[in-house]
Each structure stands twice: as C-alpha cells, then as structure tokens.
C-alpha cells in the first residue's frame, strides 16, 4: 500500500514526532522514506539578497552555514532514525513556498503518503493546524497524515 513515504521536516519537536509515526508505518510496509527540508524563501527574502534567495530556490545553501546546518540536522535526524529500523532514506532540501514544494515533490516522486506535524518551528498555530500543514492539505492529492501534538506533550 505504501512504497514511498514523504516526511517534510523543519527539525522541530512536532516534526520529530511525525518522524516516529512515519517510520513506524514505513517499517510495517518496508517503504522507502523521503526526508524533505524546505526553506521558506518568503520568510527569508527580507534578510537576504535576491541572488541568495535564487540559490536557495535551487537547493544551493553554499555560503549560508546556518541554513545548511538546519537542513542537514533535520533530514539527518530522519536518516538516523530510519537507518536504526533498516529503512532506506532519500534526503532532499529545497527553497520556495513549502506547501507547493511538498506537493510537487510528492507528485514528482510517486509518494504514497505524506506524514507531517500539525505545526512547525514558527510556533504560530491556526486553530489546530499550522499554515504550511493546512496549505499542504489543500495542495496535494496524496494522502496526508497530520501528527498533532500539544505543546505540553512535546519534549
């Protein structure tokens, strides 16, 4: 049923909870895991120049140590946890509008299931879902499992 599972991650505690759910499902179905880190270029455009934003959109974080380290830490966490379960992992980083890139990645890579946290690092919650999660639900035809975690339940 599930051959490829996408885990969009920003490295937040809620994203790490989603990783656990996704890997349990992947282990059950012996599915390939895809870890995706997206830099929201709308959020960083004001502090970076146009050339840097264009490089981020191409997935090139050269010269942007903090962004590269954040991306590597987030997808690296997925990789480490998946390898402990004997699962295959594909890591990918990109830049743009997160919900669009998640939907495009799912479509382009024949993803069967997207597993993501209810909200991410921004800490801003809309009723129940963060804006990226809400927009992803509206942007893709792939099934999405949303892992909800209340702030007091997150380590």
Q: How far is 65 from 118, CA to CA, in rounded Å?
A: 27
Q: Does residue 21 sit in helix, strand or coil?
A: helix
- The predicted-structure confidence for 24-41, as pLDDT tens digits, reads as follows 999 999 999 999 999 877
CATH number, residue 16: 3.40.50.620
- Whether 53 and 46 have beta carbons less than 8 Å apart is answered as no
Total domain count, the chain: 1
What contacts 98, CB < 8 A, 6 or more positions away? 8, 38, 40, 132, 135, 136
Tokens of 77: 């966490």
Q: Average pLDDT for residues 99-124, to the nearest whole number?
A: 85
- The predicted-structure confidence for 114-155, as pLDDT tens digits, reads as follows 999 986 544 444 444 468 888 999 999 999 999 986 544 544
Q: Which residue has the higher pLDDT, 15 or 152?
A: 15
Q: Average pLDDT for residues 82-102, to the nearest whole number?
A: 94
Q: How far is 22 from 103, CA to CA, in rounded Å?
A: 17
Q: Which residue has the higher pLDDT, 54 or 71?
A: 71
The domain of 122 spans 4-153
């Amino acid at each position: 049923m599930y051959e490829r599972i996408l885990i969009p991650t920003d490295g937040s505690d809620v994203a790490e909870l989603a990783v656990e759910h996704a890997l349990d499902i992947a282990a059950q179905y012996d599915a390939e895991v895809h870890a995706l880190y997206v830099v929201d270029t709308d959020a960083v455009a004001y502090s970076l120049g146009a050339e840097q934003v264009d490089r981020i959109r191409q997935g090139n974080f050269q010269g942007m140590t903090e962004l590269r380290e954040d991306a590597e830490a987030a997808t690296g966490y997925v990789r480490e946890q998946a390898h402990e379960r004997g699962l295959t992992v594909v890591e990918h980083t990109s830049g743009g509008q997160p919900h669009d890139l998640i939907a495009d990645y799912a479509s382009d890579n024949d993803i069967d299931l997207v597993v993501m946290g209810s909200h991410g690092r921004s800490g801003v919650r809309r009723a129940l879902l963060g804006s990226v999660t809400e927009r992803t639900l509206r942007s893709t035809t792939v099934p999405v499992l949303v892992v909800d975690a209340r702030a007091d339940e997150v380590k």
